Amino acid sequence: MNVNDTGAQSRAVETTDLTKKYGTLKAVDGLNLSINNSTIYGFLGPNGAGKTTTIKLLCGLLKPTSGQARVLNRDISSNGFEELIGYMPQETALYVNLTIGQNLQLYGELYDLDRDEIAKRKEELLELIDLVDWKDTRVEELSGGMKHRASLACSLIQEPKVLFLDEPTVGVDPDLRASFWDYFLGLMDQGTTLLITTHYMDEARNCDTIGMLDKGDLIAEGSYADHLEETGTDSLEDAFLKYTKGEDT
């Protein structure tokens, strides 16, 4: 599962001292992140740790105050590789007075997919999110979890090489969460790199590497087993608390 190549080509994401300030607040504070191609990286951290801000920087939606970041070996300030990146925002970004099918259509057209390709992807993605029967329902009439599922489908329409998913399973019921994770693991096996934020510690076990973010910087990084060994705990929750509370490890 893990790609352990060390060459720059093998990195899907690489940041150097990446910093984003809002006034005096450092939302992202000198972050050095390195994510191998074809892996799942879990981004964990308390509310306000800087997870969403980091993702927005990596998607080119925010400009860094200082530092650099490369995604698929290209500087994030360069244009022309948007179709290689998928982004599911924490706040749903759907057109609420359009149906799920129309939203998927629109996203497909924004990425310049041809008509047959959009039709094929729509069908596959509606199956994935288990909303085939709801495809003609307007988004404003959906439950919160359903909206979230539709938002995930839209972020996947163009089969991106790197996927940034900001809390993709919030409000999603347990059965469907499990099938989302099967799908994420399948995407990774096909060569996609995923960066996923979550507050569900059990989900983080599926990640190759888990980065613990606090106050805009990584306080620990490693596999699930590494974190337990490092902190001498038997759950990620306890490991996380040890790191953040500065207890002896």
Ligand X SMILES: Nc1ncnc2c1ncn2[C@@H]1O[C@H](COP(=O)(O)OP(=O)(O)OP(=O)(O)O)[C@@H](O)[C@H]1O
Q: Interface residues with ligand X (CB under 6 A)?
A: 22, 25, 27, 45, 47-53, 90
CB atoms within 10 A of CB 236: 22
At closest approach, how far in Å is the CB of 41 from ligand X?
A: 15
At closest approach, how far in Å is the CB of 105 from Mg ion?
A: 28
152 and 142 Cβ atoms separated by less than 8 Å: no
Of the pair 51, 227, the CB lying nearest ligand X is at 51
Selection from ligand X, Mg ion, none that 22 binds (CB < 5 to 8 A by kind) is ligand X
At closest approach, how far in Å is the CB of 121 from ligand X?
A: 28
Beta bridge partners of 69: 15
Of the pair 62, 98, the CB lying nearest ligand X is at 62
Selection from Mg ion, ligand X, none that 48 binds (CB < 5 to 8 A by kind) is ligand X
At closest approach, how far in Å is the CB of 120 from Mg ion?
A: 32
CB atoms within 10 A of CB 134: 19
Of the pair 157, 210, the CB lying nearest ligand X is at 210
At closest approach, how far in Å is the CB of 243 from ligand X?
A: 15
Of the pair 25, 185, the CB lying nearest ligand X is at 25
At closest approach, how far in Å is the CB of 227 from ligand X?
A: 18
Measured CA to CA, the distance from residue 221 to residue 235 in angstroms comes to 15
Of the pair 6, 24, the CB lying nearest ligand X is at 24
Measured CA to CA, the distance from residue 185 to residue 4 in angstroms comes to 17
What is the per-residue binding string for Mg ion in 70-99, x denoting contact by CB under 5 A? Answer: --------------------x---------
Closest CB to Mg ion: residue number: 52
Of the pair 33, 131, the CB lying nearest Mg ion is at 33
Our measurement of the distance from residue 150's CA atom to the centroid of its chain's CA atoms, rounded to an integer in Å, reads 15
Measured CA to CA, the distance from residue 80 to residue 118 in angstroms comes to 21
Q: What is the residue-wise DSSP string for 208-246?
A: SEEEEEETTEEEEEE-HHHHHHHHT-SSHHHHHHHHHHT
Q: Are strands 25-31 and 11-22 parallel, antiparallel or unpaired?
A: antiparallel
List, as own/partner pairs, every contact residues 123-130 make where C-beta atoms lie below 8 angstroms and the sequence separation is at least 24, other chains included. 125/153, 125/156, 125/157, 126/100, 126/101, 126/153, 128/153, 128/156, 128/179, 128/180, 128/183, 129/153, 129/176, 130/176, 130/179
At closest approach, how far in Å is the CB of 145 from ligand X?
A: 18
Rg (CA), the chain: 18
Of the pair 208, 217, the CB lying nearest ligand X is at 217
147 and 94 Cβ atoms separated by less than 8 Å: yes
Selection from ligand X, Mg ion, none that 49 binds (CB < 5 to 8 A by kind) is ligand X
52 binds Mg ion (CB under 5 A): yes
Kindly list the residues in this chain that would bind Mg ion in the complex (CB under 5 A): 51-52, 90
